[in-house]
Amino acid sequence: MAGFTYTTLTTAIQNYTEVSSSVLTSTITDQFIENAEFRILRDVPIDAYKKQSIGNLVTGQSTINVPAKTLFVKGVQVYNSTSASTGTNSWLEKKDESYLQEYIPAETSTAFPKYYAMFGGATGVTDTTSGRLFIAPVPDDTYIFKIHYEAIPDGLSSSNATTYISQYFGNGLLYACLVEAYGYLKGPMDMLTLYENKYKEEVNKFGMEQLGRRKRDDYTDGTVRITIPSTTP
């Protein structure tokens, strides 16, 4: 199935449900799309939304803000230098906040960081509301850090006509929207079940691409071979 734009997806939702815009207004279908997009983001990590953020730790400060619109943190590197162009880097080990509190209960002792933990609420709108990282030991210098994270992308809307999901996972996005639509319309249960199953089938395929084929290459891992059953003569 070809990709969708905001307009063509909205039209497709109305066509599939056979309901006009007088019932499914743009406000309602926009909510379907947003719900569907967040469902996909939480079902499958998507390479297109992998991001990095670089900054400097603050000497004697045990926390840093994660980047705006962070869905989840994939890893944290810290360089043993105040410049990323020099020095070596270490990957911090992710632990629970309670582990870090036990490891270094006071912030009076400083050293090169070894662990990190997520804590605090997050709205994802700005750096100060996207959540925080607790670092231990407390840094003894303004080391460079690099956060690898999955970002929440700008969603499909009248002012954002296309997205990666709408173009490269359009059928999955459509089916997820139709699940939302039939739930809202209290439509036939068999239709809701149909599109729920179709969505899950497409997520499985998309997940194999994102988590399988995009994580390997023929030279390192060998060519993927699929068993094709032969017919019995």
- Give the containing element (helix H, strand E) for 41: helix 26-43
Reference 78, options 129, 152, 138; nearest CA is 138
Tokens found for residue 143: 């080391």
Report residue 82's pLDDT band, with 50, 70 and 90 as the boundaries.
Answer: confident
What ranges make up the beta strands (E) of the chain?
50-56, 63-65, 70-79, 89-91, 93-94, 110-111, 115-119, 132-136, 138-139, 144-151
Reference 13, options 1, 28, 2, 203; nearest CA is 28
226 inside domain: no
Per-residue pLDDT, averaged over 106-127, amounts to: 74
Give yes or no for residue 9 having a pLDDT over 70: yes
**Per-residue model confidence (pLDDT) at position 77:** 94
Give yes or no for residue 199 having a pLDDT over 90: yes
Reference 95, options 138, 134, 47; nearest CA is 134
Task: Of 49-63, 174-188, 193-207, 213-227, give the lowest mean pLDDT range.
Answer: 213-227
Domain membership of residue 115 as a residue range = 48-151
Q: How far is CA 208 from CA 42, 46, 166, in A?
A: 15, 11, 18
Give yes or no for residue 73 having a pLDDT over 60: yes
What total of structural domains would you count in the chain? 2
Which range of 18-27, 31-40, 83-92, 184-193 scores highest in mean pLDDT? It is 31-40
196 inside domain: yes
Residues 6+ apart with CB under 8 A from 115: 92, 93, 94, 95, 99, 100, 103, 135, 136
Structure pTM? 0.81
62 in the same domain as 142 = yes
13-62, pLDDT tens digit by residue?
999 999 998 999 999 999 999 999 999 999 998 989 999 999 999 999 99
3-state secondary structure of 169: coil
Per-residue pLDDT, averaged over 127-151, amounts to: 86
Tokens found for residue 215: 């994580």
52 in the same domain as 39 = no
Which of the listed residues 136, 151, 166 is the one where a domain comes to its end? 151
**Per-residue model confidence (pLDDT) at position 198:** 95
**Per-residue model confidence (pLDDT) at position 7:** 96
81 in the same domain as 17 = no
225 inside domain: no
**Is the backbone of residue 186 left (phi > 0), alpha (psi -120 to 50) or beta?**
left
* Residue, of 224 and 21, whose pLDDT is higher: 21
CB atoms within 10 A of CB 113: 23
142 in the same domain as 62 = yes
Residues 6+ apart with CB under 8 A from 169: 40, 202, 206
Tokens 């079902």 belong to residue: 43
